[in-house]
Amino acid sequence: MEPSKEVDAPAATSPQPQSKRTRSNNGKGKSIAEDAQPLAPIVSTKATPLQRGGWKKGVAILDFILRLGAIGAAFGAAILMGNNEQVLPFFTQFFQFHAQWDDFPMFRFFVVANAAVAGFLVLSLPFSIVCIVRPLAAGPRLLLLIIDTVMMAFVIAAASAAAAVVYLAHNGSQDANWMAVCQQFTDFCQVTSEAVVVSFVAAVFLSFLIFVSSLALKRGG
Amino acid sequence: MEPSKEVDAPAATSPQPQSKRTRSNNGKGKSIAEDAQPLAPIVSTKATPLQRGGWKKGVAILDFILRLGAIGAAFGAAILMGNNEQVLPFFTQFFQFHAQWDDFPMFRFFVVANAAVAGFLVLSLPFSIVCIVRPLAAGPRLLLLIIDTVMMAFVIAAASAAAAVVYLAHNGSQDANWMAVCQQFTDFCQVTSEAVVVSFVAAVFLSFLIFVSSLALKRGG
Task: Indicate the residue of B42, B178, B221 with minimum beta-carbon distance to A25.
Answer: B221
Q: What burial class does residue A33 get, using C-beta atoms within 10 Å of its C-beta: 0-12 exposed, 13-18 middle, 19+ buried?
A: middle
Asked if B104 has any chain A CB less than 8 Å from its own CB, the reply is yes
Q: Which residues on neighbouring strands pair with residue A178, listed in sequence order?
A: A173
Q: Are the beta carbons of A160 and B160 separated by less than 8 Å?
A: yes
* pLDDT at residue A129, rounded to an integer: 93
Reported as a single tens digit per residue, the pLDDT across B58-96 is 889 999 999 999 999 999 999 999 988 887 776 665 555
* pLDDT at residue B53, rounded to an integer: 61
Q: Is the pLDDT of residue B38 over 60?
A: no
Q: Is the pLDDT of residue B214 over 60?
A: yes
Q: Which of A85, A136, A160 should we substitute to test contact with B (largest number of B Cβ atoms within 10 Å)?
A: A160
Chain B partners of A164 at a C-beta cutoff of 8 Å?
106, 160-162, 164-165
User: Where residue B22 falls among pLDDT bands split at 50, 70, 90?
Assistant: very low
Residue A156 CB contacts under 8 Å (≥ 6 apart), including other chains: A200, A203, B153, B156, B157, B160
User: Where residue B173 falls among pLDDT bands split at 50, 70, 90?
Assistant: confident
Q: Are the beta carbons of A48 and B22 separated by less than 8 Å?
A: yes
B72, B43 Cβ separation under 8 angstroms: no
CA nearest to A169 within chain B: B176
Asked if B178 has any chain A CB less than 8 Å from its own CB, the reply is yes
Q: Which of B5, B22, B51, B179 should we substitute to test contact with A (largest number of A Cβ atoms within 10 Å)?
A: B22
> What proportion of chain B, given as a percentage, has pLDDT over 90?
43
Burial A166-202 (b: 16+ CB within 10 A, else e): bbbbeebbebbebbebbebbeebbebbbebbebbbbb
Asked if A103 has any chain B CB less than 8 Å from its own CB, the reply is yes
Phi first, then psi, for residue A194 (nearest 5°) are -60, -45
* pLDDT at residue B6, rounded to an integer: 41
Task: Indicate the residue of B3, B30, B179 with minimum beta-carbon distance to A177.
Answer: B179
Local structure of B127: helix, strand or coil: helix
Q: Which residues on neighbouring strands pair with residue B99, listed in sequence order?
A: B86
Average pLDDT over residues B152-169: 94
Task: Indicate the residue of A26, A104, A161 with minimum beta-carbon distance to B221.
Answer: A26
Q: What burial class does residue B15 get, using C-beta atoms within 10 Å of its C-beta: 0-12 exposed, 13-18 middle, 19+ buried?
A: exposed
* pLDDT at residue B216, rounded to an integer: 85
Nearest to A202 by CA among A117, A137, A119: A117
Asked if A157 has any chain B CB less than 8 Å from its own CB, the reply is yes
CA nearest to B147 within chain A: A211
B85-87 and B98-100: which strand pairing?
Answer: antiparallel
Average pLDDT, chain B: 78
Distance CA B37, CA A74 (A): 54
How do the pLDDT tens digits run along chain A, 221 residues long? 344 444 444 444 444 444 444 444 444 444 444 444 444 444 444 444 445 567 788 889 999 999 999 999 999 999 999 988 887 776 665 555 678 888 889 999 999 999 999 999 999 999 999 999 988 888 888 899 999 999 999 999 999 999 999 999 999 888 778 888 888 888 889 999 999 999 999 999 999 999 988 888 876 44
Q: Are the beta carbons of B24 and A22 separated by less than 8 Å?
A: yes
Phi first, then psi, for residue B100 (nearest 5°) are -135, 160
A163, A130 Cβ separation under 8 angstroms: no
